[in-house]
Amino acid sequence: MQDYVTVTADDALENDVRLLVRLAIAEDLSNAIDWTTVCMIEDDLVGGCEVVPRVDGVCAGMAILPWIVDEFDADLELEMLLEDGQPLVPGQPMARLRGNVRDLLTTERTILNLLSRTCGVATLVRRYVDAIAGSKANVYDTRKTTPGWRLLEKYAVACGGGRNHRRGLYDGFLIKDNHLQLAGKNGVPVPASEAAKKALQWRGGQVEHLTAPSIVEIEVDSLEQLRDVLPVSPDIVLIDNFSLDDIHAAVTMRDELNSAVELEVSGNVKLDTIVAIAKTGVERISSGALTHQATWLDLGLDWFDTQDKSAS
């Protein structure tokens, strides 16, 4: 089965990152200047600084760092010392910047804010991925992301070894209980099988001159619904908030009725539950916690080799 597209450091991500940086610049400078830095620092002072992790983690954001620096329109030299996805070791620099100290001070907080967030997400994701290493299951993110940060947080998930679910409402059919209920009549939901058939038919044609998404996924909240929809052959059935016993039963049912359909578990997915879920034999485990429960990773900027231009 074709999976959702993995977010990479492409034009779409660059556009989003640049928009975020422009907003950050507006927040910090508001079309004015960095008064403290201009007051205290001579305009010809040059130096260098390194982005340094204070704790263990996973690197995520080296690919976006050049875009961040570029948006500040500062003449800074940038050297990446790690690649995204590599482990972070306390005290081992991730990147090195050199240039005008005023410019470095002005860019400092934006760089640290963005990288602390992306590294925090990647670090949490790696813990989930490592927990189920060796199983057939993969860990997927969700659309529970910070508004405006969707692609960047999904990129961080990929850096941590996770898989990306759909980017938005535009790139996949995901039929949920609300769709079934609201598409029904007289308070009776549309059967899951009927809804899946309709989505598969739409995928087979074009709607208003737009090519329909390639993946059809449907959520079920009972084994009865699962039995109803499996013969229709959606690509994925999302079994939401099932007990562990019911997940086992769902896998057995799927294997017997339609082994081509992949099963995705969501709901109550935590570090202390994911191992047992993976052992049931499902292919996919999705969790909003990968993004909405991730904490910032502690990063700092350490300075070195500061001198006047006239002295160099």
Q: Which of 109, 136, 270, 309 is catalytic?
A: 109
Cα–Cα dist 140/285, whole Å: 6
If phi > 0 it is left, if psi is from -120 to 50 it is alpha, else beta; for residue 185 that is: beta
Q: Which of 96, 176, 198, 227 is catalytic?
A: 176
Q: Which of 18, 96, 143, 144 is catalytic?
A: 144
The reply to whether 240 belongs to the active site is yes
The reply to whether 176 belongs to the active site is yes
Kindly state the tokens that stand for 87.
Answer: 């482990």
Cα–Cα dist 159/93, whole Å: 18
The angle, 0 to 180 degrees and rounded to 10, between the axes of the packed helices 101-131 and 11-29 is: 130
Backbone angles phi, psi at 163, to 5 degrees: -105, 150
Query: How far, rounded to the nearest angstrom, does the alpha carbon of residue 102 sit from its chain's CA centroid?
Result: 33
Q: Which of 14, 194, 221, 240 is catalytic?
A: 240
Cα–Cα dist 101/111, whole Å: 15
The reply to whether 109 belongs to the active site is yes
- What SS3 class is residue 125? helix
Q: Which of 219, 235, 264, 283 is catalytic?
A: 219
Per-residue CA distances from 13 to 6, 65, 151, 230, 293 (Å): 11, 12, 6, 36, 22
Q: Could you list the active site residues? A: 109, 144, 176, 219, 240
